Amino acid sequence: MNTSLAQLNHTKHMLPFGGKVILLDTGAIIDAEAEAMLQALHSRSAKGIEDHLLILEERGSEKFMANFYVGYGHKSIGDCGSVTLFIEGVSMLVAKAIQDWQLYSGQESSTRYIDFAEQEFRDPIGSLLSSEILEVWRVFYVNSKEELLAHLRSQFPRKETEVEETYEKAIAARSFDILRGFLPAGATTNLAWHTNLRQAADKLCWLRNHPLKEVREVAEGIQAVLMERYPSSFGHKTYPASEQYYAEAMCEHAYFNGGNEFHSLGNNGGLGAIFNVSEAMLERYENIMSLRPAKTELPKILNECGTIQFSFLLDFGSFRDVQRHRAVTQQMPLIGTRYGFEEWYLRELPESLRATAATLLTQQRDRLSKLSYGGVSETELQYYVAMGYLTPNRITGGLPALVYLVELRATRFVHPTLRHRAKQMAESLKNAFGDHGLILHLDPEPDRFDVKRGEHDIQLKDVAA
């Protein structure tokens, strides 16, 4: 076994546009394939793990995985071995494409705690106009920072009881909350994807047929590092008919473009709700709903009562937060300017910046229109659209998932634009199911600046020797 981190052999693939995919080598002797083999042997023999370890040592796992997992199609074997991929220097559009998967586990760089001033902005068009659009967004993001920080300090002065370092982190987080609305979706980010062998192979079928070239290139990079490290588990045959099906499905459904109903929702800030729940079945669970204490989830069995669907407009910045809820079904929205810009980002700016921002949005929208008229597709245009623009969102799920979502996202520490929608959904749930015993444990505090935001960052601490 490796004894030094420097000796670990991480599998890397450099992406053609400068990013990279890294498959983490943990240094374990029993790797993902071996672990999967051991569990598979366990299902077919009563001899126990010690005997199976001897078989593993004698024969290795490669032929076993090639024969039984890939060759015979025993896909459940692939569930038993996991890997961790680090995908760096990719656009937020790539991150969302990978995370558009109810089985996704992982993390992404946070625009709420990281200064994105130095991040590269992906420019797949590479024209003078496309470069200008990205540079204008960057200039506003960079040049507005100090003025906005001063405004926030005057608006929310530090109390004597508040630690200065924590206060400054909270102020910075608040500024990032506001300025992220002016970052383009093409801003690069890093993410980690922890997955098992089967899920990786299943997801790659869709990623390699995605309408965005960058997503397809990242899929090739992921396939490359997995094939290099685990060739026996990623030698699946591809079939032309299947690939054509994946490509056509992704072309039609990779993005949700909304419809006329979303324009009416945007005009009044409304929320669309469809309840497909059996009230007769719900009666069986009235007691368990009414007795649920705070910080406790509803049992998943309530999903059998039916589904609830909410439709609303939400800026892309906050969609990135709500997409983290994997227990509900939601489609990646198509980012554009058709639904307008979220007013919250403008209201939070000092007056001196507000007028500049309003002019900026008008000019940038004209530039985006010119790109579109020049033949740039709607999917590629997304790289140049700021994250503060509203997108159509549709969320479908059962009561357990939606109750968890609204309680978590209705707290004062959540971005205000998402908190507003979470509170709307909570009110709708209470109106629909309050008579059946549903109670919701919501944060009673109003929307306000809270210095505790400065404690939510993840920072390494010096440890005394």
Is the domain of 373 the same as that of 392?
no
Same domain, 284 and 371: no
Can you give the pLDDT at residue 65?
A: 62
Specify whether 292 is located in the same domain as 393: yes
104 shares its domain with 36 = yes
Q: Which helix (H) or strand (E) holds 188?
A: strand 188-196
On whether both 306 and 282 belong to a single domain, the answer is yes
**How many domains are contained in the chain?**
3
**pLDDT exceeds 80 at position 47:** no
- pLDDT, position 115: 82
Question: Same domain, yes or no, for 268 and 393?
Answer: yes
Question: Does a structural domain hold residue 157?
Answer: yes
Query: DSSP strand E in 295-431: where?
Result: 306-315, 329-330, 390-397
pLDDT score recorded for residue 233:
82
CATH number (domain holding residue 74):
3.30.1360.170
Distance CA(384)–CA(187), nearest Å, equals 9
Does 159 fall in a domain? yes
The predicted pLDDT at position 383 comes to 98
Cβ count within 10 A of residue 81: 25
Domain of 393 in residue numbering reads as 260-341+388-448
461 is a domain residue: no
Rounded Cα distance between 441 and 289, Å, is: 12
Separation of alpha carbons 397 and 402, rounded Å: 6
**Has residue 158 been placed in a domain?**
yes
Sign of CA dihedral 274, 279, 285, 288: positive
Please state the pTM of the whole predicted model: 0.88
Q: Which tokens belong to 207?
A: 């990623």
Q: Do 243 and 293 sit in the same domain of this protein?
A: no
Bridge partners of residue 13, in order along the sequence: 21
Residue 46 has a pLDDT of 67
CB 189 within 8 A of CB 92: yes
Q: Domain check: are 232 and 279 in the same one?
A: no
Q: What pLDDT, on a 0 to 100 scale, did the predictor assign at position 465?
A: 35
Dump pLDDT digits (tens) for 316-337: 999 999 999 999 999 999 999 9
Considering 76-90, 229-243, 316-330, the range whose residues carry the highest mean pLDDT is 316-330
Please state which of the ranges 61-70, 104-113, 189-198, 339-348 shows the lowest mean pLDDT: 61-70
Residue 1 has pLDDT above 50, yes or no: no
pLDDT tens string 259-273: 877 877 765 578 999
Q: Are residues 354 and 335 part of one domain?
A: no
Q: Percentage of the chain surpassing pLDDT 70?
A: 89
pLDDT band at 60 (very low <50, low <70, confident <90, very high): low
Which stretch of 387-391, 424-428, 435-439, 454-458 has the lowest confidence by average pLDDT? 454-458
Angle at 292 between CA 291 and CA 296, to 5 degrees: 165
